[in-house]
């Protein structure tokens, strides 16, 4: 889940998107997640429900969206909602509260400059979403700087009040919490989320966002650190091996066709997403402290060298 939500198809959980994804697709997935977490938070969907059964409880097109992201044949689909949110049976924690936390996190993140580009309004405020950013290809340090209160002040509250967009995020979260207390999932609630997550008239596909683009291609050590959570995540099918090979070849050709200056800023989006899937396949282990199995390491090393994406001495 950590790998998918930071580099893959669940980036919308952080108000972001998979590189190249249309803004409307991301927004629709967010509305689906809003329904799921809102209804769990209110207790309208039982926390003992299996993830594989959730889709049938959602409204309209949200059924298909949820089912596509959590098909019944993957391990996480066998968990209950309570387990999905990290609450062990009989253990401490409140799955409903965590669902609400996931919802608020998603909403608030759409106001972070490193997560979205929104329309510029008067008074330093922002409006509708022009594009969602993709984490792959961003410089981690720049992303982090835009994620924390940056305004002047001695206390955290003062810094938040002085940080652009921050109070809009607080206001949006407040609207959601008030609605949670007031109404179940109705057309009025949907309209609220459509307003908060509203799209501009002209949108662009997801990318890193101009000011957050990494200056250089990430090193393999950075790649390994960024995708560590995916090493023991769910298995993927053999078809991914062919997909990885095809995409790496396409990227290799792309690198040759552009100038050296642009190469420095080139994004290995395909590599980030598909190779971490490779890592997930060959690194699955019940013991998260174990290293990747040797066959997986060798195959990945050979593939990266074959396409000259990383120097030999960087492993």
pLDDT in tens, 123-182: 889 999 999 998 877 777 778 778 877 778 888 888 888 888 889 999 999 999 999 999
Of 168, 196, 224, the last residue of a domain is 196
**CA nearest to 108, candidates 170, 178, 58, 195:** 170
pLDDT in tens, 256-268: 554 444 443 333 3
Q: pLDDT value at position 137?
A: 72
Q: What whole-number distance in Å separates Cα of residue 225 and Cα of residue 108?
A: 26
Helices (H) and strands (E) in the chain, counts: 15, 2
Residues 226 and 98 in one domain: no
More confident residue, 277 or 84: 84
pLDDT at residue 77 tops 80: yes
pLDDT at residue 291 tops 90: no
Helix axes 23-42, 187-196, angle to 10 degrees: 130
Residues 231 and 175 in one domain: no
Percent of the chain at pLDDT exceeding 70:
66
Q: Contact at 8 Å (CB) between 309 and 248?
A: yes
Q: Other CB atoms closer than 10 Å to residue 170's CB: what's the count?
A: 14
Looking at the DSSP bridge assignments, the partners of residue 133 are 207
Residue 213 burial (10 A CB sphere; 0-12, 13-18, 19+): middle
Buried residues in 41-76 as b, exposed as e (16+ CB within 10 A): bbeebebebebbebbebbeeebeebbbebbeeeeeb
**pLDDT-wise least confident of 62-76, 93-107, 204-218:** 204-218
Q: pLDDT value at position 298?
A: 52
Could you give phi then psi for residue 117, rounded to 5 degrees? -110, 120
Q: pLDDT value at position 95?
A: 95
**CA nearest to 111, candidates 59, 164, 58:** 164
Q: pLDDT value at position 210?
A: 79
Read off the pLDDT of each residue in 41-65 and give the average, rounded to a whole number.
Answer: 96
Read off the pLDDT of each residue in 278-303 and give the average, rounded to a whole number.
Answer: 43
Half-sphere exposure of 268 (CA within 13 A, CB side): 25
Predicted confidence band of residue 16 (pLDDT cuts 50, 70, 90): very high
pLDDT at residue 277 tops 50: no
More confident residue, 145 or 280: 145
Buried residues in 277-292 as b, exposed as e (16+ CB within 10 A): bbbbbbbbeeeeeeeb
Q: pLDDT value at position 159?
A: 84
User: What 3-state DSSP class applies to 267?
Assistant: coil
Read off the pLDDT of each residue in 174-197 and give the average, rounded to a whole number.
Answer: 97
pLDDT at residue 6 tops 60: yes
Residues 180 and 260 in one domain: no
Residues 226 and 119 in one domain: no
**pLDDT-wise least confident of 3-12, 78-87, 201-210, 295-304:** 295-304
Residues 239 and 163 in one domain: no
Beta strands in 74-136 (DSSP E): 116-120, 126-132
More confident residue, 121 or 124: 121
Q: pLDDT value at position 247?
A: 45
Give the chain's length. Answer: 315
pLDDT at residue 43 tops 80: yes
* pTM greater than 0.85 (yes/no): no
Domain of residue 49 covers 2-196
Q: pLDDT value at position 2?
A: 65
Element (H, E) at 134: none
285 CB-near residues (< 8 Å, 6+ apart)? 231, 232, 293
**CA nearest to 58, candidates 48, 44, 47, 72:** 44
Gap between the terminal Cα atoms of the chain: 25
Task: For residue 220, tell me if it sits in a domain.
Answer: yes
Q: Contact at 8 Å (CB) between 197 and 29?
A: no
pLDDT at residue 7 tops 60: yes
Q: Contact at 8 Å (CB) between 202 and 130?
A: yes
Mean pLDDT of the chain: 75
Based on the structure, what is the number of domains in the chain? 2
Residues 165 and 227 in one domain: no
Residues 185 and 227 in one domain: no
Q: What whole-number distance in Å separates Cα of residue 13 and Cα of residue 29?
A: 9
Q: Contact at 8 Å (CB) between 3 and 234?
A: no
Residues 102 and 141 in one domain: yes
Q: What whole-number distance in Å separates Cα of residue 260 and Cα of residue 196?
A: 41
Q: pLDDT value at position 89?
A: 78
Residues 295 and 186 in one domain: no
**pLDDT-wise least confident of 32-41, 62-71, 202-211:** 202-211
Read off the pLDDT of each residue in 178-188 and give the average, rounded to a whole number.
Answer: 96
Task: For residue 79, tell me if it sits in a domain.
Answer: yes
Residues 219 and 192 in one domain: no
More confident residue, 186 or 312: 186
Q: pLDDT value at position 142?
A: 79
């Amino acid at each position: 889940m950590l790998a998918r939500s930071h580099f893959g198809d669940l980036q919308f959980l952080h108000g972001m998107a998979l590189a190249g994804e249309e803004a409307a697709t991301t927004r629709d997935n967010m509305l689906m997640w809003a329904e799921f977490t809102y209804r769990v938070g209110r207790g309208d969907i039982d926390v003992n429900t299996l993830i594989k059964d959730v889709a049938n409880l959602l409204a309209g097109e949200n059924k298909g969206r949820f089912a596509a992201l959590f098909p019944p044949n993957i391990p996480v689909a066998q968990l209950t909602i309570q387990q999905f949110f990290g609450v062990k049976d009989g253990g401490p924690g409140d799955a409903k509260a965590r669902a609400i936390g996931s919802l608020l996190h998603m909403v608030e993140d759409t106001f972070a400059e490193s997560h979205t580009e929104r329309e510029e309004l008067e008074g330093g405020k922002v409006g509708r979403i022009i594009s969602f950013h993709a984490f792959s290809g961003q410089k981690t340090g720049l992303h982090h700087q835009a994620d924390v209160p940056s305004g002047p002040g001695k206390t955290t509250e003062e810094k938040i009040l002085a940080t652009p967009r921050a109070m809009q995020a607080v206001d949006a979260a407040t609207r959601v919490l008030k609605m949670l207390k007031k109404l179940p999932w109705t057309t009025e609630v949907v309209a609220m989320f459509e307003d908060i997550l509203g799209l501009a008239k002209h949108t662009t596909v997801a990318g890193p966002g101009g000011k957050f683009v990494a200056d250089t291609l990430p090193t393999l050590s950075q790649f390994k650190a960024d995708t560590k959570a995916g090493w023991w995540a769910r298995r993927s099918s053999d078809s991914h091996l062919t997909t990885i090979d095809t995409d790496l070849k396409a990227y290799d050709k792309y690198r040759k066709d552009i100038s050296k200056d642009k190469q420095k800023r080139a994004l290995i989006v395909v590599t980030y997403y598909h190779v971490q899937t490779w890592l997930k396949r060959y690194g699955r282990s019940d013991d998260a402290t174990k290293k990747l199995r040797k066959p997986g390491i060798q195959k990945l090393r050979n593939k990266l060298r074959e396409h000259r994406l990383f120097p030999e001495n960087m492993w």
